[in-house]
Each structure stands twice: as structure tokens, then as C-alpha cells.
Copies of this chain bind each other. A is one copy, B any other.
Amino acid sequence: MPISKSTIKYVKSLRLKKFRQKYNNFIVEGDKMGREALNYAPSLIEAVYALDSWLETHASTLANDKKHPVTEVELKKLSLLTTPNQVLIVMRHPNNDLSKNLLAGQMSIYLDGIQDPGNMGTILRIADWFGIQTVICSPNCVDTFHPKVIQATMGAFLRVKSPEANLETVLNLIPNIPVLGAAMDGINIFKMPNIPNQAILVIGNEGNGISKITQNLITQRIAIPAAVNSQAESLNAGVATGIICAVLKGGR
């Protein structure tokens, strides 16, 4: 059955946060991400638009009413990518509620106004690599279900939770957890005498760093050491997150 104009309009509308929230849905595209979605979150899948060959190979266990075979031309009409890749899936938002249980005894990340979808996705991917289960997003972050975020996660959105909350709300849930934040005058991460087994690692906005209100809640300032004569002013937010997580989680 050919894909209707209203389906195309609906799927395309999900590029916007307004419609993702209205319908409680978002889009996942491409062969690899499609396979991961079927593998890790089959219950969240609402509709799979894919080439016949892809459906046969990868979606044999999926209910028939969720399978929508499409031609290359139809996929191109649905897709947000310049080069669609075999499959587009409409998924329901996972449960992204914040709870004390998620944070207790864990290192979690708090993103303070991260705006770039690529950085957000890269950070979720880092969390996935280092076994960090929760990346809390301040309300002024880019939406974690933005199509470009989802693409950049390489599937990490299926395994890492990304609840939206203010840091104050987080600290009301779990009051005495250490809050680490990068600062020029922070302690060298390679020389921290004690790495707390539970902590919130704050990552600031790409241009403006950590906001004043969040700064005031930091309990431990940390720093990535630069070369002695370095003239560089900063590192990319994703790179800084990767280095800190590697040293605090991987280096022990």
C-alpha cells in the first residue's frame, strides 16, 4: 500500500519538538540504528517504514501492523536525511523520569545548556561507553529526541536515560551528592585524591560555560590539564566530557 500524504506530513512533523511532544513520538533512521531499536526497545516501536529486503532480514519478529514496506522513492519522501538508509522508525518516548534510585551510588552527568545536537548525541554516546546510566538535561538544552541528537548517539539513546531537570531538583532528590564542575582553577583530574563513587558531573554550554546558578551548586572544581605553553582556551564540550569520564570511570 503506498504511503499516504498524511503519513508523510506526520512523519516529517516529528523533526519539530512541538510535534514530538504532541504525539509523544520521535524518529530513528538508518540500518544500524534501526537494528538497535528493534533489539533494545521493541516495545517502543510504533511504525517501521523500510525497504522489503530490510523488513525481511531484520523485522521478522515485529507485529505485521507495524511493518510498512516502502520504496526508495517513498523513503526519500519520509526521511530527514539527505541520504536515507533503508529504514525509518517512529518510536514512542521511553520513560525518562528522574528518581533517586537512578542517581544513588552512580556517577551521572548534568548538561547545563548544551545547545549543539552533535555535542548532545556525542555525550550520550560517551555515557554509554563508560557505563554512565543517566545524563540529566537542563531545561534549556537542545531536546534529546532531536533527530540530529539521535543520529549522533549511534544508539546510545536506547540505553542511557536523559531526563530533563534543574540541578536544584536533582539535589532535592539526593541532597549530599558531590557535584563536580570543570573550572580553570579546578583540581587536576589526574591528581584527585578521592574519586567519589556517586557524583554529578556538570558540563557547561559550548560558548558560555556553566551558568552562574549552577556554578553555585558545584562542590568540587576539576580541571583537565593543558600543556604548559598551550595557547588554547578550551576544549569542545563533548571532548571534555569524554576525557573526564575516561579518567574518573575508566582510569581506575
> Do A225 and B250 contact each other (CB < 8 Å), given the known contacts A128-B232, A231-B159, A232-B129?
yes
Min C-beta distance of A10 to chain B, whole Å: 29
Give chain B residues whose Cβ lies under 8 Å from the Cβ of A232: 125, 128-129, 154-156, 159
The verdict on A234 contacting chain B, using a C-beta distance below 8 Å, is yes
Give chain B residues whose Cβ lies under 8 Å from the Cβ of A242: 235-236, 239-240, 242-243
Q: For this complex, into which size category does the number of interface residues on chain A fall? A: 35 or more
Q: Looking at A129, A155, A238, which has the most chain B CB atoms within 10 Å of its CB?
A: A129
The verdict on A185 contacting chain B, using a C-beta distance below 8 Å, is no
Cα A65 to Cα B227 in complex, Å, equals 38
Complex contact A235–B190 (CB within 8 A) = no
Complex contact B236–A125 (CB within 8 A) = yes
Cα A122 to Cα B228 in complex, Å, equals 20
Min C-beta distance of A33 to chain B, whole Å: 12
Cα A155 to Cα B232 in complex, Å, equals 8
Give chain B residues whose Cβ lies under 8 Å from the Cβ of A241: 239
Can you report 5 residue pairs joining A to B where beta carbons are below 8 Å apart?
Answer: A131-B226, A131-B228, A225-B250, A239-B239, A247-B247
Top 9 nearest A-B pairs by Cβ distance?
Answer: A131-B227, A239-B242, A128-B232, A129-B232, A243-B246, A225-B250, A190-B251, A122-B236, A129-B226
